[in-house]
Amino acid sequence: MSTPNPSFDDFLDALLGSEDEAAVQRQVASDPKLAKEASLQGRIDRELKDMYAYDESRALVFPAEPRVDAEPPAPIVFPGRNRMWRGMAIAAALLLVGIGVRVAVFSGGPVDRTVGPEKVYAKLISRGFQPEFVCTDDEGFKKATKDRLGTPLVMASASNIKLLGWAYNAGFPGKLIGDHTMLLLAKVDSKEVLVMMDQVASDRELKLPAGSGLYLHRRVVGSIVNYEISPFETAKIVDRLSVPN
């Protein structure tokens, strides 16, 4: 087993200067076990950051009064990562991520996680259904889908449909469909509708749990599989998608 460089802990904490950081990066690049440890620690950090991030959308706003948002909580300061702490962090992360996570840390296997569509929808709702970027006209729509998924798509407009924009993974480190899933956020009659898109070669069977209050509609357009998740019994978005001539 590799023995980490004495500055490896500081490297994980982003405390090194540029020269020291470059030296450790070279060491990590040449040592698969160190690279695996750095990758796993980065995944844990992202998940903890996401769990404890300040959610501005939950700040209270009272009508007819000046808005006074609470100050975001101070960032959580983690102690230096010695070997014992890293082991505790890995164990805690495995408990927090819940059922469906399979991390083969001791067997040397990769992380394998898939996320249910209802969880993606719920998380986006909790964040105010805000897109990561807006690109909703025909040209922007075609470019976004072609650049990410290899096939340009367009969507027929409708007076009751408002496209809000796009996101990639809603903050989940696992797979939503495949490795290139795009999320299209829209409102239909003022209700939130989510479309998850990916290459059809990466398609996997998506299901909603009983009692979710949501409906799932699937349609393949060109080389892209599309799953619409919404409170509507009939599809509102996926049936309007097409490959332009």
Q: Decide: pTM greater than 0.85.
A: no
pLDDT tens digits, 174-184: 789 998 999 99
pLDDT tens digits, 196-213: 999 999 999 899 999 999
Gap between the Cα atoms of 51 and 111, Å rounded: 19
Where are the chain's structural domains?
Answer: 8-85, 117-242
Closest among 210, 206, 202, 245 to 229, alpha carbons compared: 206
> Percent of the chain beyond pLDDT 90?
47
Strand segments (E) across 67-205: 101-103, 111-113, 154-155, 161-167, 182-188, 191-199
Contact 100, 114 (CB under 8 A): yes
Looking at residue 43, its pLDDT comes to 67
- Sign for the CA dihedral angle at 9, 14, 15, 19 comes to positive
Taking only Cα atoms into account, the Rg of the chain, rounded to an integer number of angstroms, comes to 21
Read off the amino acid at residue 145: T
Looking at residue 192, its pLDDT comes to 98
Cα three-residue angle 85-90-96, rounded to 5 degrees: 120
Q: How far is CA 3 from CA 6, 8, 79, 98, 201, in A?
A: 9, 10, 20, 31, 41
Q: Read off the pLDDT band of 136 (50, 70, 90).
A: confident
pLDDT tens digits, 62-118: 444 444 444 555 554 444 445 555 556 556 555 554 434 444 334 444 444 688 999
Average of pLDDT values for 125-153?
Answer: 93
Looking at residue 138, its pLDDT comes to 93
Gap between the Cα atoms of 135 and 163, Å rounded: 9
Give me the count of residues in the chain: 245
Mutual angle of helices 83-97 and 32-52, in 10-degree steps: 50
pLDDT tens digits, 72-81: 555 544 444 4
